Amino acid sequence: MSDTKSLGDALPDEIKRVTEILGHYGEIGPVATFGVVMTCTELNSATRAIASGDSRAT
């Protein structure tokens, strides 16, 4: 069997994974601000895509 998932199936798992990683940015300090902003922007986009049913929007 293949472990291949569609984007719609994999996106929630990736959002969870990236959200966990985002927590580590706080440990880095102010130098991580740019990364936090960019990551949050992408997470918001992905979350909106799921909510709208359009996983292609990411």
Q: Tell me the pLDDT tens digit for each residue of 10-24.
A: 999 999 999 999 989
Domain ranges of the chain: 7-57
Identify the pLDDT of residue 55.
Answer: 55
Identify the pLDDT of residue 54.
Answer: 66
* pLDDT higher than 70, residue 2: no
Identify the pLDDT of residue 43.
Answer: 95
pTM as predicted: 0.74
Task: Give the whole-angstrom CA distance, residue 39 versus residue 21.
Answer: 10
Burial class from Cβ neighbours inside 10 Å (0-12, 13-18, 19+) for residue 15 reads middle
